[in-house]
Structure 1
Amino acid sequence: MSEVVNKDTVPDEAQKDYVEDGKNKLLVKCKFCGSKILEKKTAKYVAIEKELPLMQQDANRKDGEVQKEMINEYFHVENMYIFENIGFTHPVDNYKYLICADCDAGPVGYYELDSKHSYVALSRIVQS
């Protein structure tokens, strides 16, 4: 998986209503079941590029390859105990994927085994 760190921590126009003082302004919830993942103002907005597997894979693919997409906006969580409700997959390379602990939807982000930091993809959650 490629990762490019972007020093720009200013959210794009679509996310500006959800980021305040560089942190998540609202509750972060699972977009499928509504389970609370993060409290308000607990994660830092970061603009990085990282490939994640699609949440819904095409079952008709013959090649067996995992379909991925590039995501470039995340909420950075430095300590896994900040999460209200999150699940972790088995390790894949140097990562664990983050999933909703209630409905198993995901991945909603990833956890780095080396740094022990988590990244929740803004495009894979809802905020309220």
Structure 2
Amino acid sequence: MDNSQQPGESTDRSDLVSEDGKNVKSVICQCCESKVLSPGSAVFAEKELFLPSMRKKNGLSNAEGSVDGDTLTGHWFVDDMFTFENVGFTNNVGSIKYLVCADCEIGPIGWHCLDDKKSFFIALERVKHV
């Protein structure tokens, strides 16, 4: 898969999203290839979310002041945290918990606001699809 796409760039997602809006392929970690979501378990959603730059889990929860990162718009949405195959959560950063790979703890690959218990987002640009 070509990973040369820049953050925020639009891409043809027809090979990733089914007619009913669900993920066609498995969603896996870019670093260790651990499975995050099974095919058909998430719905494509366009929502602007800021995610800090990728790093180990302990570097995310202690972020203070201005943080480097990207505003991303293409995400896989799930409404139940038990839908994930392998995902970890950072400590609270304000009202946000960032989602990381449960195996290698690299992230954030996604975002969860504590104010909405049924909204979990995985950024398409932070994962691979196989």
Normalised by the length of structure 2, the TM-score is 0.80
Sequence identity percentage:
40
Offset, 1:33: 0.3
Structure 2 distance, partners of 1:14, 1:106, is: 24
Query: Matches of 2:13 and 2:42 in 1, distance apart?
Result: 14
Between the two proteins, the alignment pairs up a number of residues equal to 112
Determine if the alignment matches structure 1 residue 42 to structure 2 residue 44. Answer: no
Q: 2:120 aligns with which of 96, 108, 118?
A: 118
Unaligned runs of 5+ in 2: 1-9, 56-64
* Pairing of 1:89-100 with structure 2 (within 5 A): 89-100=90-101
Q: TM-score, normalised by structure 1?
A: 0.82
**How far off is 1:92 after superposition?**
0.8
Backbone CA RMSD of aligned residues: 1.8
Q: Which runs of 5+ in 1 are unaligned?
A: 1-11, 57-63
Map of 1:76 onto structure 2? 77
**How far apart, in 1, do the equivalents of 2:14 and 2:127 lie?**
15
Once superposed, which parts of structure 1, at least 4 consecutive aligned residues long, lie more than 6 Å away? Answer: none
